């Protein structure tokens, strides 16, 4: 039987057999012993396939001729008043640096002092040195067809032998290497131990390196020579519409004077070495795999760098991650914070995968006249509460303020009808002891919020005509279906939301409507947008049901 079958749900076995014509396209629903089969036509099947095929994500091209090499993020934050303005800067400074803007625009929020962005300009200049080689890698048939080839060419033979250790995979790697001997473009990549190392082996433009070093020295040179700088990956393919990219790229510690460090292991960690190592993480196998899965144009993305003082382990009193969600309009609370925090420098954001250490977990509900603290889990490495109630009050106040600032910047680019109430941000935080950063003119220890990013779903794949409708953006981003209804002779816009996309907006059964609170039960309906799953549901409702009893 060659009929096309779309399985919407399979929850149990069945003994029933149905014979279909080869040209039939059907939707099959199986629940226990109950089976429903609905025949759909070829156009409906093709429409469903089209909805599954997400469009390619491409980062807008940038003009490096008018781009600075470094930017003081405090100065940039002063010039940003809306999310639309920040979107113009995101391809220039990357997602992590863009996230700093909302933090810096939040009054009184404690951030790393003097954060600086290295724009994508020097990365693109460096990439141009190996552009032909990169094209040869990306366009290679084996690279396109087999993940083992992608790993081998990106990460190199050394890591390949550990990651793909099965005999057949090792044999495949040897055969691929034999097909590309040294002296060929791809052979030279393998001889360098992968494209990441090949990329890092190229020397930076001396004048560019000198300019970056001078700007770093001007910003951070007053600290002690032992104070490390954290060079954090800030890819332009990170925290963009349709792709979060969290955790895909590497951040690294470097020094303005690496040779002066007391630990000889730090002598290699020069400004050039550390920047190139951070840049190269864009071309890791894992990052490439995730971008490929989400149909991101790899070459459109770039890598900026966010720079601030390193958080020294010995001075780290605690660290953690948190979320803050502003509640929907009409809720009995303002928002909810969920905090995971660990004692000392045992990382929560990047935990040791072999460790069983668990953090302290706290949920805090905030209302206009109340705050409810629920301590859900204790840390497994200390018997003491890591965050006291007073420390929680301070932290939650900052998280709320930053989330409200973010919301206001989003709404500055939307019409009043489209403005959002619900915003969820993810944060990374640390509490530092006195003496950090080393040699600072003032005591900059205490609570530090070091990162913020949106965790809200984006309206990827929604047509621009639907995005322009007077629907709050948080509802549209969670919409399973948007329709134009005809009710009593005049049009009504309606949107149903997916209850599985948190927070549940409450419109899965009775839709949001404009005008509001309309009774839509007797209205005519013209669907303007629906998700692939919702489209299947509509096909089940409208298609020809197969009578299984006959």
Residues 299-319: pLDDT tens digits? 999 999 999 999 999 999 999
Q: What is the average pLDDT across 501-512?
A: 91
User: What DSSP string runs through 48-110?
Assistant: HHHHHSPPPB-PPP--GGG--SEEEHHHHHHH--SHHHHHHHHHHHHHHHHHHHHHHTSTT--
107-156, pLDDT tens digit by residue?
999 999 999 999 999 999 999 999 999 999 999 999 999 999 999 999 99
Closest CA to 245 of 83, 98, 364, 423: 98
Does the structure show a pLDDT above 70 at 443? Answer: no
Give yes or no for a contact between 14 and 35, defined as CB atoms under 8 angstroms apart. Answer: yes
> What distance in Å separates the CA atoms of residue 543 and residue 39, rounded to the nearest whole number?
6
Which residues are CB-contacts of 353 (< 8 A; sequence separation ≥ 6)? none
- Per-residue model confidence (pLDDT) at position 367: 94
> What distance in Å separates the CA atoms of residue 71 and residue 482, rounded to the nearest whole number?
42
Give yes or no for a contact between 92 and 67, defined as CB atoms under 8 angstroms apart. Answer: yes
Identify the residue whose tokens are 């609370």. Answer: 333
Give yes or no for a contact between 427 and 319, defined as CB atoms under 8 angstroms apart. Answer: no
The tokens describing 257, both together, are: 């004077």
Q: How far is CA 156 from CA 67, 191, 281, 388, 452, in A?
A: 33, 8, 13, 48, 33
Which residues are CB-contacts of 427 (< 8 A; sequence separation ≥ 6)? 321, 322, 323, 324, 399, 402, 449, 451, 452
Lowest mean pLDDT among 280-294, 446-460, 525-539: 525-539
Does the structure show a pLDDT above 90 at 487? Answer: no
- Per-residue model confidence (pLDDT) at position 3: 46
Which residues are CB-contacts of 207 (< 8 A; sequence separation ≥ 6)? none
User: CA dihedral in degrees (216, 222, 224, 229; nearest 10)?
Assistant: -20
What CATH architecture applies to the domain 313-454? 2-Layer Sandwich (3.30)
339-388, pLDDT tens digit by residue?
999 999 999 998 888 889 999 999 999 999 999 999 999 999 999 999 99
> What distance in Å separates the CA atoms of residue 406 and residue 429, rounded to the nearest whole number?
17
The tokens describing 161, both together, are: 């032998």
The tokens describing 219, both together, are: 């910003």
> What distance in Å separates the CA atoms of residue 329 and residue 335, rounded to the nearest whole number?
11
Does the structure show a pLDDT above 80 at 257? Answer: yes
- Per-residue model confidence (pLDDT) at position 96: 95
Q: What is the average pLDDT across 150-167?
A: 97
Q: How far is CA 189 from CA 11, 117, 249, 337, 419, in A?
A: 48, 30, 21, 47, 50
User: CA dihedral in degrees (505, 510, 515, 518; nearest 10)?
Assistant: -150
Question: DSSP class of residue 322?
Answer: E
> What distance in Å separates the CA atoms of residue 336 and residue 327, rounded to the nearest whole number?
7
Give yes or no for a contact between 482 and 511, defined as CB atoms under 8 angstroms apart. Answer: no
Which residues are CB-contacts of 210 (< 8 A; sequence separation ≥ 6)? none
List phi, psi (to 5°) of 529: -160, 140
Closest CA to 371 of 343, 390, 349, 347: 390
- Per-residue model confidence (pLDDT) at position 540: 73
The CA-based angle 171-176-181, given to 5 degrees, is 125
> What distance in Å separates the CA atoms of residue 256 and residue 260, rounded to the nearest whole number?
9
The tokens describing 347, both together, are: 């990382």
Strand ranges, E, within 281-385:
303-309, 316-326, 335-343, 360-366, 371-377
Closest CA to 274 of 292, 261, 288, 289: 261
- pLDDT range class, residue 14, cuts 50, 70, 90: very low
The CATH code of domain 64-127+202-309 reads 3.30.1490.20
65-87, pLDDT tens digit by residue?
999 999 999 999 999 999 889 99
Does the structure show a pLDDT above 80 at 20? Answer: no
Average confidence score pLDDT of the chain: 90
Question: DSSP class of residue 282?
Answer: G
Helices (H), 242-342: 271-280, 285-293
User: What DSSP string runs through 167-183?
Assistant: HHHHHHHHHHHHHS-BT
User: What DSSP string runs through 388-407?
Assistant: -HHHHHHHHHHHHHHHHHHH
Closest CA to 510 of 537, 475, 543, 541: 475
Give yes or no for a contact between 230 and 305, defined as CB atoms under 8 angstroms apart. Answer: no
Does the structure show a pLDDT above 50 at 493? Answer: yes
């Amino acid at each position: 039987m060659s009929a096309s079958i779309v399985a919407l749900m399979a929850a149990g076995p069945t003994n029933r057999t149905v014979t279909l014509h080869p040209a039939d396209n059907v939707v099959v629903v199986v629940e226990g012993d109950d089976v429903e089969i609905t025949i759909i036509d070829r156009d409906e099947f093709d429409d469903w396939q089209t909805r599954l095929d997400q469009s390619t994500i491409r980062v807008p091209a940038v003009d490096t001729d008018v781009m600075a090499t470094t930017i003081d993020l405090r100065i940039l934050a002063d010039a940003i008043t809306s999310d639309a303005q920040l979107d113009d800067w995101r391809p220039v400074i990357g997602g992590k640096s863009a996230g700093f803007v909302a933090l810096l625009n939040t009054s009184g929020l404690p951030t790393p002092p003097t954060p600086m962005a290295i724009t994508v300009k020097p990365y693109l200049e460096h990439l141009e040195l190996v552009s032909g080689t990169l094209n040869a890698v990306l366009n290679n048939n084996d690279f396109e067809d087999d993940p083992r080839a992608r790993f081998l060419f990106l990460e190199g033979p050394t890591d390949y032998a550990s990651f793909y250790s099965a005999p057949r995979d090792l044999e495949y790697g040897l055969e691929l290497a034999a097909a590309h001997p040294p002296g060929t473009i791809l052979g030279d990549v393998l001889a360098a131990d992968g494209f990441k190392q090949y990329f890092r082996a190229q020397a930076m433009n001396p004048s560019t390196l000198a300019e970056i070093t001078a700007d770093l020295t001007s910003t951070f040179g007053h600290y002690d020579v032992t104070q490390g700088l954290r060079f954090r990956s800030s890819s332009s393919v990170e925290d963009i519409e349709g792709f979060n990219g969290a955790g895909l790229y590497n951040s690294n510690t470097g020094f303005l004077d690496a040779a002066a460090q007391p630990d000889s292991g730090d002598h290699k960690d020069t400004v050039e070495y550390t920047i190139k190592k951070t840049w190269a993480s864009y071309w890791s196998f894992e990052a490439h795999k995730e971008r490929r899965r989400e149909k991101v144009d790899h070459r459109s993305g770039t890598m900026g760098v966010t720079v601030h003082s390193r958080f020294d382990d010995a001075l780290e009193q605690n660290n953690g991650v948190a979320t803050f969600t502003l509640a929907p309009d009409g809720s009995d609370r303002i928002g909810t914070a969920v905090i995971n925090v660990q004692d000392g420098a045992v990382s929560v954001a990047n935990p040791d995968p072999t460790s069983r250490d668990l953090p302290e977990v706290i949920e805090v509900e905030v209302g206009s006249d109340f705050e409810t603290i629920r301590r859900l889990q204790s840390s497994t490495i200390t018997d003491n509460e890591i965050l006291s109630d007073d420390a929680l009050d301070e932290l939650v106040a900052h998280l709320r303020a930053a989330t409200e600032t973010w919301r206001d910047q989003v709404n500055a680019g939307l019409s009043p009808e489209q403005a959002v109430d619900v915003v969820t941000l993810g944060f990374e935080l640390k509490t530092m002891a006195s003496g950090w950063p080393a040699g600072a003119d003032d005591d900059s220890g205490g609570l530090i919020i070091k990162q913020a990013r949106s965790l809200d779903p984006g309206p990827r794949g929604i047509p621009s005509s639907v995005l322009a409708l007077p629907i709050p953006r948080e509802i549209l981003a969670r919409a399973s279906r948007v329709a134009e209804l005809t009710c009593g002779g005049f049009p009504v816009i309606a949107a149903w939301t997916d209850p599985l996309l948190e927070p549940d907006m409450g419109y899965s059964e009775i839709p949001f409507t404009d005008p509001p609170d309309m009774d839509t039960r007797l209205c005519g309906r013209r669907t303007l947008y629906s998700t692939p799953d919702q489209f299947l549901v509509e096909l089940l409702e409208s298609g020809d049901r197969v009578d299984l009893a006959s």
